[in-house]
Amino acid sequence: MGFLVNIDNGGTFTDVCISDGARTVHAKSTTTPHDLTQCFIDAMKRGSRELFGDEDLARLMRETDCLRYSTTSGTNAVVEHKGVPVALLVEAGQEAAVYGAHAVYGDSALWQAMVPARPAGIKVAADGSIQGDELTAIINQLLSVGTQRLVVCLRTAAAEQKVKDALLDRYPRHLLGAIPFLISTELVEDADLSRRVATAVINSYLHPGMEHFLYGAENVCKSQHLKRPLLIFRNDGDSARVAKTTAIKTWGSGPRGGLEGALAYAKLYDLETVVSMDIGGTTTDVSVISGRRVSLLPYGAVETLPTSFPLPRLQSFGLGGSSIVTVHLGAIVIGPESVGAVPGPASFGRGGSDATLTDALLLAGILDPERYLGGELKLDRERAAQAVLAQVGTPLGLNLEQAARAIIDAFQQQVGAQLSRTLKAAGADIAKTALLAFGGGGPIIVTGIARAVGLTKIIVPHLAAVFSAFGIGFSHLAHEHQIALSANDAGKIGTLKATLNTRVRRDMSGEGVDENDCQYTYSLWSAAGAAVHEEVVRGEQVGIDGHVDPRLTLKAVYALPVSVLHADTGVVAGVPGAGAETPILLDANAVTAVTVYQDKDLAPGHALNGPCLIKGDYLTCLVDAAWHLRVTPNQDLILEDGKA
């Protein structure tokens, strides 16, 4: 078996996880927002160093069977409004409905950035026909003011096809005067005009940047002789090659990787309810998995804009290791602004002067200044002290130790409050819920966060620091198509299934796999309140009465090799050898000598009692007093609260 390589490109760090079935290694590199191809290469190089002892990108590429990749590029473009603005063509009389006057879009800064000019309206006859000369005049006017991309969103697919035919005839693709355009019904079939408009506009807005970057990454893979085309992990939990991926499907794909990993862990540890907590440099992402299923919203939103695609029910909060800490009206405020990786926390020594949780953790003795990011980055305690005193200590009248501990306590309470709200909204029973903590910051002070919520069981994955990258490794090569159903379609299911079969097989063929080696599943998809209802369709009869927005769906899956997990036996065999002690600020008034254990020295069956500190190149986990820890056969840490 060759290597399975998963890369998750985050806002602060880019993570890589590599496995050959018997061994798994991981590494991190700093994200390079000016050129995301660079951090993609850097992550691969660091991964090769972990595997081979020396950096050998060419060898890693040659020996890789499958390379899956998720990117934050689309997410960042949305947050920072750095996509390519589009011009929007709608039916005459619909201009106000999709711009300014429409309640959904009127207050959206993102919408204003994506569609800066009022939509152009074109007359559409009852039979869907248009006037070619009118269309030419509209397009020429748009081109004269610098339009780079056009989105066509009319009420019917027939009318949109008329526009498409006219555009191809009057602005052929082989001429430099051609204008890139997107036909909304070719992207998604949705009778709801507002959702379809937003979906098409967002996709077109993100497309140029994504295209440039992803094809750049794919060219690197080709030049290094990667066996299989680079696969892009999507926000629906599946993967596809670059040429078969839509830009909007990459939005939020990194957090979905963490959910796929959480789902695998719910099955591994036989857990009915799991709340996943991914703490990164910029955000904390929280989701509840019940019944071993990822909870989906029927129609997800990008910021406030509705889309036609289901998205995971995932709460994202501006609380992370690089979130800026300030004092407002005598209270500590953390985030939502972040210093990211550049300039980063004050302790990074890259010019940043804002206090962050990372600085506080360093001052409290929890983070090792010599081993941050596996020793790639040395943390500066003096710069951290200056920032924490200036931003928190002096305004609140606290000394350095008190200020550092106050930041940590505030972070625990604020994340805990967000977790509590999410669990309540999901109707979860806290007493029967396990907390899965991952991300670079997830495990660090997890027992304090859990106690703030009332959770008594915690799982810290062995690969917590790169867990989203690890989770990508459970995805398969897949495509899905849907056709909206109406009461008139009850007798046409056979014909509709044949149409879907043609579309999906075309996609799988385009992936370079044998369509006959794929698994095909027809299902009835519909909205059920704020959730997704799905039932498998095996015959020609489909009952759609009572369903909201029913759709006939066909999903094709080509199975890929996935990550390996080892079942939990629950056996406790003993304790590791005694570790060194280090002074840690466990509360604002006292420094306590705490035993430190290296994660590489922990073996399945080992058990420990808190307080203690687990350290590794990419893992730090402070286990508070009264918590018990054991190491599973999968080398995960199970923590349980002895006070409960």
Domain co-membership, 541 together with 586: no
Contact between residue 485 and residue 552 where contact means Cβ atoms under 8 Å apart: yes
Residues of the chain above pLDDT 70, percent: 98
pLDDT at 121 over 60: yes
pLDDT at 644: 66
Q: Using 50, 70 and 90 to split pLDDT, how confident is the model at 105?
A: low
- Is 568 a domain residue? no
List b or e across 247-263, with b for residues whose CB sees 16 or more CB atoms inside 10 angstroms.
Answer: bbbbbbbbbbbbbbbbb
Domain co-membership, 17 together with 91: no
Among 495, 525, 558, which residue terminates a domain? 558
- Is 571 a domain residue? no
Q: What is the pTM of this model?
A: 0.89
Domain co-membership, 415 together with 481: no
276: β partners:
287, 436
Q: Using 50, 70 and 90 to split pLDDT, how confident is the model at 77?
A: confident
Residues spanned by the domain of 422? 252-475
Residue 327 CB partners (closer than 8 Å, separation 6+) = 333, 391, 392, 395, 396
Domain co-membership, 322 together with 467: yes
Domain co-membership, 227 together with 358: no
pLDDT at 578 over 80: no
Contact between residue 46 and residue 35 where contact means Cβ atoms under 8 Å apart: no
Q: What is the pLDDT of residues 148-187, one digit of tens each?
A: 999 999 999 999 999 999 999 999 988 777 889 999 999 9
Among 453, 475, 497, which residue terminates a domain? 475
Q: Per this entry, what is the length of the chain?
A: 644
- Is 618 a domain residue? yes
Q: What is the pLDDT of residues 257-315, one digit of tens each?
A: 999 999 999 999 999 999 999 998 888 989 999 988 898 999 998 888 889 999 998 88
- Is 71 a domain residue? yes
Would you list the DSSP string of 232-273? Answer: EE-TTS-EEEGGG--GGGGTTHHHHHHHHHHHHHHHHTT-SE
- Is 576 a domain residue? no
- Where residue 39 sits, what CATH number does that domain have? 3.30.420.40
Closest-CA residue to 619 (of 434, 436, 408, 462): 462
Q: What is the pLDDT of residues 49-67, one digit of tens each?
A: 999 999 999 999 999 999 9
pLDDT at 104 over 70: no
Sheet with 620-623: strands ordered across: 581-587, 590-598, 612-615, 620-623
Mean pLDDT across the stretch 177-204? 92
Domain co-membership, 283 together with 412: yes
Residues of the chain above pLDDT 90, percent: 63
In terms of pLDDT, which residue wins out, 481 or 374?
481
The alpha carbon of 574 is separated from its chain's Cα centroid by a whole number of angstroms, namely 38
In terms of pLDDT, which residue wins out, 15 or 569?
15
- Is 130 a domain residue? yes
Among 416, 448, 475, which residue terminates a domain? 475
Domain co-membership, 324 together with 395: yes
In terms of pLDDT, which residue wins out, 435 or 343?
435
**Calpha distance 377→520 (Å, rounded):** 48
In terms of pLDDT, which residue wins out, 579 or 563?
563
Q: How many domains does the chain have?
A: 5
Contact between residue 524 and residue 550 where contact means Cβ atoms under 8 Å apart: yes
Domain co-membership, 281 together with 369: yes
pLDDT at 442: 94
pLDDT at 35: 84
pLDDT at 99 over 60: no
Q: Using 50, 70 and 90 to split pLDDT, how confident is the model at 102?
A: very low
**Calpha distance 319→358 (Å, rounded):** 12
Domain co-membership, 241 together with 287: no
pLDDT at 452 over 50: yes
- Is 93 a domain residue? yes
Domain co-membership, 285 together with 370: yes
pLDDT at 103: 47
Domain co-membership, 449 together with 328: yes
pLDDT at 101: 40
pLDDT at 539 over 90: no
Domain co-membership, 263 together with 383: yes
Strand, coil or helix: 23 = coil
Indicate the range of 196-210, 283-297, 501-515, 526-540 predicted with least confidence: 526-540
| Token pair recorded at residue 16 | 């890589």
Would you list the DSSP string of 455-498? Answer: --EEEE-TTGGGHHHHHHTT--EEEEEEEE--GGGTT-HHHHHH
List b or e across 363-378, with b for residues whose CB sees 16 or more CB atoms inside 10 angstroms.
Answer: bbbbbbeebbbeeebe
- Is 567 a domain residue? no
The alpha carbon of 440 is separated from its chain's Cα centroid by a whole number of angstroms, namely 14
**Calpha distance 309→320 (Å, rounded):** 28
pLDDT at 467 over 70: yes
Cα dihedral across residues 171, 174, 179, 185: positive or negative: positive
**What is the rounded average pLDDT for all residues in the chain?**
90
Mean pLDDT across the stretch 428-440? 94
